[in-house]
Structure 1
Amino acid sequence: MIIGAGIAGAGMAYRLAPKGSVAVLDMEAQAGYHTTGRSAAFYAETYGGPKLQPLTTASKGFFRAPPEGFSEAPLQGPLGAIHIFREDQREEADAALAEMSVLPGVRVLPAEEVLRRAPYLKPDMLTAGIDDPDCANLDVAALHQGYLKGAKAHGAQVLLESGLESAVYEGGRWQVKTRTGALTARVLINTAGAWADQVAERAGVKPLGVTPLRRTIVTFKNPQGLPFDRHGPVIIDVGEAFYFKPEGEGYMVSPADETPSVPTDAQPELEDIAVAVDHFERVTGATVEKLEAKWAGLRTFAPDRAPVIGFDADQPAFFWSVGQGGYGIQTSPAWSALAATLVLGEDLPEELKAHGVRPELYSPARFR
């Protein structure tokens, strides 16, 4: 039984349904209503640090060539990313480059090359950039629906508006009470994102202390007079103070905020919206007249900001698949493959081993 039908839960259902009986519970009327449906929707191997990178890299093949029939639409499209930095950010840039340089194609771009590829940037706002040519746009909806469609084709039940109220483990089975009735399961899989600790408590399992952090995104049309390239790269501040990318006829911008929040239907705050716009205006010199859209989502982190994938140290029938932070979409093929392997007690797939995925890095036992 999987608790949560966002990208983590959908991916788990897709991997596990061919091997046994699977039910997915979600408290909302729409699967993926919260964080999954509010993603910035890009893939960047250089984003997230050394513990996330193996999962991201190991997911690349799935995005480029998904299984036959998985999705009618391509899962990814070209984008590219440039991490820009000023002279006073040189130390941060050196540290970032040291992490990124293990990946092919990553190199330092002189300012003139950055400006050629992103002519909307002000020359005095950058010293150079770090190129990530394999960064790609992702079709999050196609990925999420592909997982759910594949899971249902193998008999998985997706029970919406049916959140978990309590679970008791006795006689080798979970006795689960939901909003819509009682169910039983051999294994309870926690993919509840911001609600992960609440789910654990309702199952009598010690919570991990995960922290939901609010992140804001705004979109607007390209400001008048500013050069525009709908196929231009995502621009990321090397200190992760902001990022933006072309979206439609304008831009999607985030101030990369990380404001602690209770688990909730996150909404953007006026101050964070203003910060997002200010970052864009400062690095481009343009004036944003009107927003087209604004939203916020919750990126949930474990105490050490690394993924948590594995059976609970004290309750071996309770499985954690949480702490995706802002990287759940781009890691989901490898993440779900690893998690399903651990649930089933199978050997780690060679493809994951080849990219340096090590289950012990993500074990919940590290918090005990």
Structure 2
Amino acid sequence: MKSVDILVIGGGIAGVSAAARFARQAQTLLIERESALGYHSSGRSATFFHFGIGDDAVRGLTAASRSFFVDPPADHSDVPLSQAKPALFIATRETMGELEALEAEMRRFADTITRVGPDDMQAIVPVLKVGNDGAVAGILDVGGQKLDADLLLQANARALRRAGGEIRFGEGVAAIVHDGARWIVDTGVERYSAGIVVNAAGAWADELALLAGVRPLGLTPLRRTIIGFDPPSGLDISGWPFLKTVSDDGFYMLPDAGRLLASPMDVTPSPPCDVQPEDYEVALAAWRVEEATNLSVSRVPVKWAGLRSFVADKVPTAGFASDAPGFFWLAGQGGYGLQTSPAMALAAEALLFDQAWPDELRAYGVRPEQIRPERLTG
């Protein structure tokens, strides 16, 4: 049996970014059931940093993470983990109220936004339908960042190993019990003894808790679909922004490696699994792009789906379970796990080691009670 101080279960961005910080202070081991980091949700995201989703807690966590992506710590990376790219949020006449509410919320965290009209929007995205047939107003945020998910995962893995931590792949949890003093975790490959277990199992976090005899958080995994298609020949899309409707029954679209990626922003409940795209959502993504633009999506050579797991208030959760000693929650990152991961790692470190609340989080109004699990479980 291998004994460690902290055993992190789950190799998505939440687990690996927090483990990189934990390893500076304690012997830390991360185990992942799959053969690579970010196999499920983290590796299937459009990976864009913006303030167009979430509540004040999420936007505060996002704001507190920005400097990490632009100027990462030396032990993580010697190059930026993101590239500057604007974000454009659009509204029709029917959704102007939503645009105005979003603008007010975004302005509390970003001073890089401006209201734009039909002519400006069409100049930015020439294929966009504007006026009576489409968008009538938008919010342009020139502070957006296109994140590199793989680079971000590997940067945190590098920092974890440099601090003396370890990652083991191909090890899913078969059994987990508390012997009165420590957690005993059996993966079928190895048995571990840990003073603290960190549940960063993503869509499987509630299932892991039940296996451990811990009260679940009430996570809801939701399927999200993304398609990739080629733009018309000769059309330069490299300067296009991340484009998103303010309405949840719309779509988002962004250029990526010469193609356009788009999602219908579907939120279909799903059991934890290796989720695959459904034909309906693939067709819906193409249809919504065609409804809002002059593009024709005749072929979809690339498509995938991922799971976004939310708790009731849709705020990421970190902290010790009240009903199990040494069981630490790090779950419910929803659709903003990557863009909030540096701040959530800071929060998790402070809560796990009972340290002072980080100034970086306090500066953006993020409070510990907003993310602790007691708000959900009592």
Q: TM-score range by the shorter chain?
A: over 0.9
Tell me which moved more, 293-302 or 170-179: 170-179
> Which of 228, 231, 239 pairs up with 1:231?
239
Partner of 1:35: 41
Using structure 1 for the length normalisation, give the TM-score.
0.97
Counterparts of 1:357 and 1:48 in 2: how far apart (Å)?
13
Alignment deviations for residues 274-307 of structure 1 (CA, whole Å, 9 cap, x no partner): 0000111111122112122100000000022121
Let me know the Cα RMSD of the aligned residues: 1.3
Using structure 2 for the length normalisation, give the TM-score.
0.94
Q: What is the aligned-residue identity percentage?
A: 39
Partner of 1:130: 139
Counterparts of 1:88 and 1:45 in 2: how far apart (Å)?
22
Partner of 1:285: 294
Partner of 1:67: 73
Deviation at 1:72, TM superposition (A): 4.7
Partner of 1:101: 107
Alignment deviations for residues 225-253 of structure 1 (CA, whole Å, 9 cap, x no partner): 7x433121111001132100112222000
Secondary structure of 1:244 counterpart: strand
Counterparts of 2:295 and 2:180 in 1: how far apart (Å)?
65
Deviation at 1:157, TM superposition (A): 1.9
Structure 1 residue ranges, 4+ long, deviating more than 6 angstroms after superposition: none
Unaligned runs of 5+ in 1: none
Deviation at 1:79, TM superposition (A): 1.1
> Which of 298, 301, 309 pairs up with 2:307?
298
8 Å Cα contact 1:25/1:159 also seen in 2: yes
Aligned partner of 1:78: which letter?
A
Deviation at 1:178, TM superposition (A): 1.3
Deviation at 1:186, TM superposition (A): 0.5
Number of residues of Structure 1 aligned to a counterpart in Structure 2: 367
Partner of 1:254: 263
Alignment deviations for residues 153-190 of structure 1 (CA, whole Å, 9 cap, x no partner): 22212111111122211232111111212110001111
8 Å Cα contact 1:223/1:289 also seen in 2: no
Counterparts of 1:230 and 1:94 in 2: how far apart (Å)?
28
8 Å Cα contact 1:281/1:288 also seen in 2: yes
Counterparts of 1:330 and 1:147 in 2: how far apart (Å)?
14
Deviation at 1:73, TM superposition (A): 4.1
Aligned partner of 2:120: which letter?
E
Secondary structure of 1:266 counterpart: coil
Tell me which moved more, 164-173 or 334-343: 164-173
Q: 1:73 to 1:293 in 2, by over 3 A?
A: farther
Aligned partner of 2:345: which letter?
S
Partner of 2:151: 142
Deviation at 1:140, TM superposition (A): 1.0
Spell out the pairing of 1:170-181 with structure 2 (5 A cutoff). Answer: 170-181=179-190
Unaligned runs of 5+ in 2: 1-6
8 Å Cα contact 1:3/1:192 also seen in 2: yes
Partner of 1:48: 54
> Which of 246, 252, 257 pairs up with 1:243?
252
Counterparts of 2:359 and 2:75 in 1: how far apart (Å)?
24
